[in-house]
Each structure stands twice: as C-alpha cells, then as structure tokens.
C-alpha cells in the first residue's frame, strides 16, 4: 500500500505488513456476471484498454486508497467454470474485450463454495466444499474453518507470482437468499453465533458464514446482495471487536438508484407521490434466483424501503415487481410509473424506462467498494461504515434500527466528506 501512510500497519488489524500494494478481493459468487465483469474490467484497465467510465471515484486521490490496478481477485462459486468460460456465457463484454482478456480469465477457477438449497432454492452447482470434520466438529464449524483457510491461503500467496497480498476484502455477490428468522438467538451476539456454529443452527445461512469467515480473518466485508449477513447483530459485534469494516447492503444500481435521485426532487418541489409502480425484467442468473418467492421477498424488501423516508410520508401504493424474462439476459429493463399530485390536486405522471445492464452498473461499484472498504480498514474504522451508504439500496446503520439516509445526493456528500475530510473542511 501507498507509502506516506505510516499508520497503516498499526490500524489495520491482522492484515498488512504493507510490503505489497496488492489488494485482494475475495468474491462470493466469483463466476457470476457482476464478478466476472469486475475481474475483466480491472484486467482491461491494466491493459490500458478501458476508460474510467462508470467508476465514480477515479478522480479521487487520498492517502491509503488503492489504485484500480492494485486489485487481484479470487473467490468462491458453486460452478467450477473458469472465468473465461463464465464471461463468455454472461455475454457482458464486447467480443473484442473478451478476446483481450479471455486467456487471463481462463487461468482463474473459483474455489469450491458453500451452498444451501434451504436458503437459495434456484441456484445450485457441483463445486461444493466438503471439509473433513474433526471428531465432534459440526458441519457449519468445519465449513467456517474451510473458508477461513481459503482466505489465509489467498492472503499469503494471492499476489503476483505467489506473493502475499497487501490487503484483503471479501465481497458477497452471490444470489439472494431467503430471509432467516431475525430474532433467532444464534444471530444476536458474537458468543451465541459461535455456539450456533457448533450446534449447526439452521438459521445460519451461507451468506453469514462467509461474513463470519471474513471478519475472523480480519478482512473487510462488503455485502452487495440483499441477503442478511453483515447486518446480523452477531456479525456486527464480531466486526467491531475485530476492528474490521462492514459495508452493505444490496448494491444500488438501476431502478432504485433512480428512485433515490427522483424522490428527493419531488419532495423539493412539493410534488406529492401518490403511487409508484416499478417493474423489472431481467434474464440473468440473478433473475432466475428471484423466481424463488422466498428470495424475491428479500429483494423486494430492500427495494421498497427507500421512498418513504426520503419523502417524509408513506407511499401506500408503492409496488415493485421483478420478473425473470429470458430474452433480456443481463440487459435488465426497469420500467417505472410515478403518479404525482401537484398544485390544486392536479395529477401528473412520469414514466421512466431504464434499459440498463446489470453487471455494467454493478461491477464498477464493486471495484470502488473494495477500494473504499480497504481504505476504511487502513484508517482503522471497524464495524459498519455508514458513510458507504451511497452504494446501497438498504444502507446498514451504525445504530441498529435507525432510518438510513437514502437520497443519493446527500449520500454522495457524506461520502465525499468522509473521503477527503480536509478538502471539504477547507
């Protein structure tokens, strides 16, 4: 990591002899469209074959912030396809781009992963870990141990030529899980969670297991999915104890991003939102996972929470639909209808049709989040990093149950002030 930040070695727990500037990114769901796009994107940046379009913080230069080309990726996936094959299937890259990076991507194969049909019914695969269990060891404990070992191996040799990494962040990009019972005792404290692992508690999901492994390994953890993980009280407590940063949850890319841009404007102009109907059609693996009603419920939960707090009143007719529609592949379409009431009670409507590409919007945010979470760790900031709310549909708050800020422009200001405290204070 950058010289000039003499505090790095002390503030970053467990990590960072700072002898290397390489930032490892261990991805849950490495073979998915978002992850392969991020991996390919960094590779194309390295080759000078991509611009910084879509990367919000390309112009930011603060001590301790990794360059894009510092990033190296690893991670787990239920599919053992190498990333070259995966990128070909996802068809996000242009043919010329794919050709430029395919051989490099083809060298990379996801590590065996932890899956659970209990939590995510529609996504499965054969690339599953099967850890040898010590006498009396529970299955969850063995899995957790295995994931920690994956991270340690990556940390010690994931850099170029097998060198150690200079930093390590775990990012969850896996398909959405169903919501577990939030009140389950095992999820409430660090101690109870440890006991839950040993007792194979059924409320502990794969997503939590990855988050646990990240925290236990001293890695910052980013939850880009709606799954419950980094926001489980037990995990938060563990992260605070370990001084490890947590960021989440559910990346704010297309429709919800637009919502948090438009709603503040309607509030500003006192245009009352009488109803907001949102529908999404998408045909990639994420869409398929959401065919499972339980996974869908988790997703809709984070998508629906943003309006009321921005507007200051409840929008009773706020409907959100997500439909798996294969012709679209990764090219998602989000159609919104907004019913507004203006002066003298007269009604108006706005329709927004966003023909977007899920992975193209998400991948650069993942890259930035890896950099910024590593920065938080470099600065010694443990627990929930609320200032990263800019990236998420459902920002986790430091104070449990607090209403997060959703307006994009406010989140941006908060983030910029966090990024460059001196610059904005001046």
Binder among 47, 265, 403, 423 for its own copies (CB under 8 A): 265
Comparing CA positions, the residue from 198, 195, 205 lying closest to residue 232 is: 205
How far apart are the C-alpha atoms of 211 and 397, rounded to whole Å?
A: 17
With helix as H, strand as E and coil as C, how does 310-378 read? HHCCCCCEEEEEEEECHHHCCCCEEEEEEEEECHHHCEEEEEEEEECCHHHHHHHHHHHHHHHHHHHHH
CB distance 380 to 218 below 8 Å: no
**Residues numbered 401-420 forming contacts with its own copies, rule: CB under 8 A:** 408-409, 412
Tell me how long the chain is: 426
Minimum distance of its own copies from residue 265's CB (angstroms): 4
Nearer Cβ to its own copies (128/352):
352
Nearer Cβ to its own copies (21/337):
337
How far apart are the C-alpha atoms of 308 and 322, rounded to whole Å?
A: 20
**Residues numbered 33-62 forming contacts with its own copies, rule: CB under 8 A:** 37, 40-41, 44, 50-56, 58
Q: Does 364 bind its own copies (CB under 8 A)?
A: yes
Minimum distance of its own copies from residue 14's CB (angstroms): 32
> Could you tell me which stretch among 4-12, 287-295, 331-339, 372-380 binds its own copies (CB under 8 A)?
331-339
How far apart are the C-alpha atoms of 66 and 71, rounded to whole Å?
A: 8
**Residues numbered 136-195 forming contacts with its own copies, rule: CB under 8 A:** none
Q: Does 272 bind its own copies (CB under 8 A)?
A: yes
Q: How many amino acids of this chain bind its own copies (CB under 8 A)? A: 71
Coil vs helix vs strand at 157: helix
Nearer Cβ to its own copies (209/263):
263
Question: What are residue 337's DSSP bridge partners?
Answer: 277, 351
> Could you tell me which stretch among 88-96, 113-121, 301-309, 418-426 binds its own copies (CB under 8 A)?
88-96
Token representation of residue 392: 């998420």
Q: Does 67 bind its own copies (CB under 8 A)?
A: no
Binder among 80, 138, 309, 354 for its own copies (CB under 8 A): 354
CB distance 12 to 377 below 8 Å: yes
Binder among 349, 417, 421, 423 for its own copies (CB under 8 A): 349
CB distance 397 to 405 below 8 Å: no
Nearer Cβ to its own copies (240/308):
308
Sequence-ordered list of residues with C-beta below 8 angstroms from that of 151, at least 6 positions apart, any chain: 26, 168, 170, 213, 214, 217, 219
Minimum distance of its own copies from residue 94's CB (angstroms): 7
**Residues numbered 297-326 forming contacts with its own copies, rule: CB under 8 A:** 316-317, 319, 321, 323, 325-326
Q: What are phi and psi of 250, to 5 degrees?
A: 70, 100
Q: Does 333 bind its own copies (CB under 8 A)?
A: yes
Q: Does 91 bind its own copies (CB under 8 A)?
A: no
Binder among 269, 293, 313, 402 for its own copies (CB under 8 A): 269
Minimum distance of its own copies from residue 319's CB (angstroms): 6
Minimum distance of its own copies from residue 61's CB (angstroms): 15
């Amino acid at each position: 990591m950058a010289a000039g930040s003499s505090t790095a070695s002390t503030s970053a727990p467990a990590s960072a002899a700072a002898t290397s500037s390489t930032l490892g990114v261990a991805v849950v769901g490495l073979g998915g469209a978002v992850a392969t796009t991020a991996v390919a994107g960094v590779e194309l940046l390295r080759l000078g074959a991509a611009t910084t379009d879509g990367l919000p913080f390309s112009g930011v230069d603060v001590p301790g912030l990794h360059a894009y080309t510092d990033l190296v990726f690893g991670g787990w996936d239920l599919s053992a396809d190498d990333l070259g094959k995966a990128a070909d299937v996802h068809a996000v890259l242009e043919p010329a781009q794919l050709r430029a990076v395919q051989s490099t991507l083809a060298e990379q194969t996801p590590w065996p992963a932890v899956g659970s049909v209990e939590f995510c019914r529609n996504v499965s695969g054969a690339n599953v870990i099967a850890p040898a269990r010590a006498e009396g060891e529970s299955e969850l404990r063995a899995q957790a141990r295995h994931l920690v070992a994956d991270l340690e191996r990556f940390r010690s040799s994931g850099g170029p030529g097998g060198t150690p990494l200079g930093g390590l962040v775990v990012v969850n990009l896996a398909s959405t899980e169903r919501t577990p019972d939030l009140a389950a005792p095992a999820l409430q404290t660090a101690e109870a969670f440890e006991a839950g692992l040993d007792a194979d508690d059924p409320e502990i999901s794969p997503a939590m297991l990855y988050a646990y492994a990240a925290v236990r390994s001293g890695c910052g953890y980013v939850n880009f999915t709606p799954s419950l993980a980094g926001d489980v009280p037990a995990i938060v407590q563990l992260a605070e104890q370990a001084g490890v940063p947590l960021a989440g949850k559910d990346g704010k890319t297309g429709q919800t991003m637009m919502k948090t841009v438009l709603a503040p404007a309607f509030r500003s102009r006192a245009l009352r939102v009488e109803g907001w109907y949102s529908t999404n059609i998408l045909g990639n693996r994420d869409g398929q996972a959401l065919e499972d009603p339980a996974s869908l419920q988790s997703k809709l939960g984070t998508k629906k929470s943003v309006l009321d707090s921005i507007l200051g009143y409840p929008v009773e007719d706020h409907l959100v639909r997500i439909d798996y529609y294969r012709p679209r592949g990764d090219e998602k379409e989000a159609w919104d209808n907004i019913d507004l009431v203006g002066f003298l009670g007269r009604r108006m409507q706005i329709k927004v049709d966003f023909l977007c590409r899920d992975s193209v919007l998400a991948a650069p945010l993942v890259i930035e989040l890896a950099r910024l979470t590593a920065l938080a760790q470099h600065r010694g900031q443990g627990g929930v990093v609320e200032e990263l709310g800019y990236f998420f549909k459902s920002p986790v708050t430091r104070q449990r149950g607090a209403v997060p800020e959703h307006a994009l422009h406010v989140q941006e200001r908060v983030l910029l002030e966090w990024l460059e405290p001196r610059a904005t204070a001046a």
